[in-house]
Structure 1
Amino acid sequence: MKSNKDRIQELKTNGYQLSFEAVFNLAFENYKKIVVYAGLLFLVSAVLLGMLAFVIIAFTFGIENFQEFIKPENLDPNNFSDEFLMIYIGSVTLFSCLVSPFFAGIIKMAHCAEIDEEFHVSTAFQYYQFQYFKSLFLATLLITILNMGVSSVVDLSGLPILGFLASLAISLLNVLTVPLIIFRDFKALEAINTSFTLVSKQPLVLLGLLTVTYLFCITGVFMFFIGLFFTLPLLYSMYYAIYKSIIDFE
Structure 2
Amino acid sequence: MKSTLDQIEDIKKNGYSLDFATTFDHAFENYKKIAVYSGLIFLVFSIIFAVAYMGTITAIFGIENIKKDFIEEYSKRKLSGDELAIHTIGIAVLSGLFSPFMAGFLKMADSADKDVEFNVSTIFTYYKAPYFVQLFINAFIPALVATGISGIIKNIDSSSIGNTIAIVIPYFISYFMFLSIPLIVFGKLKGIEAIKSSFIIVTKNPLTIFAFFILGFIGSIVGLIGCGVLVFFTIVFNSSMIYATYYAIFGIKQEDSIDSIGNSNVD
TM-score by length of 2: 0.83
Task: Give the match for residue 115 of structure 2.
Answer: 116
Cα pair 1:8 1:247 within 8 Å, conserved: no
CA separation of 1:163 and 1:47: change in aligned 2, threshold 3 A? closer
Task: Give the match for residue 200 of structure 2.
Answer: 197
RMSD: 2.5
Cα pair 2:91 2:143 within 8 Å, conserved: no
Question: For residues 68 and 214 of structure 1, what CA distance do their matches in structure 2 show?
Answer: 28
Task: Give the match for residue 33 of structure 1.
Answer: 33
Question: For residues 179 and 165 of structure 1, what CA distance do their matches in structure 2 show?
Answer: 23
CA separation of 1:84 and 1:3: change in aligned 2, threshold 3 A? closer
Alignment of 1:140 with 2:139, yes or no, is: yes
Q: Which amino acid counterpart does residue 52 of structure 1 have in structure 2? A: A
What pairs with 1:211-230 in structure 2 (closer than 5 Å)? 211-230=214-233
Cα pair 1:15 1:201 within 8 Å, conserved: yes
Question: For residues 169 and 181 of structure 1, what CA distance do their matches in structure 2 show?
Answer: 21
Deviation at 1:181, TM superposition (A): 0.7
Question: For residues 217 and 4 of structure 1, what CA distance do their matches in structure 2 show?
Answer: 28
Question: For residues 131 and 111 of structure 1, what CA distance do their matches in structure 2 show?
Answer: 19
Cα deviation code 1:114-139 (max 9, x no counterpart): 01111111110010103111111111
Alignment of 1:13 with 2:16, yes or no, is: no
Question: For residues 29 and 77 of structure 2, what CA distance do their matches in structure 1 show?
Answer: 46
- Stretches of structure 1 that go unaligned for 5 or more consecutive residues are none
Q: Secondary structure at the match of 1:141?
A: helix
Bigger mean CA offset, 51-60 vs 133-142? 51-60
Cα deviation code 1:52-87 (max 9, x no counterpart): 223333434332222377286x44623655544443
Q: Secondary structure at the match of 1:16?
A: coil
Question: For residues 93 and 8 of structure 1, what CA distance do their matches in structure 2 show?
Answer: 27
Deviation at 1:164, TM superposition (A): 5.0
Deviation at 1:166, TM superposition (A): 4.5
Bigger mean CA offset, 206-215 vs 226-235? 206-215
- Stretches of structure 2 that go unaligned for 5 or more consecutive residues are 254-267
Deviation at 1:244, TM superposition (A): 0.3
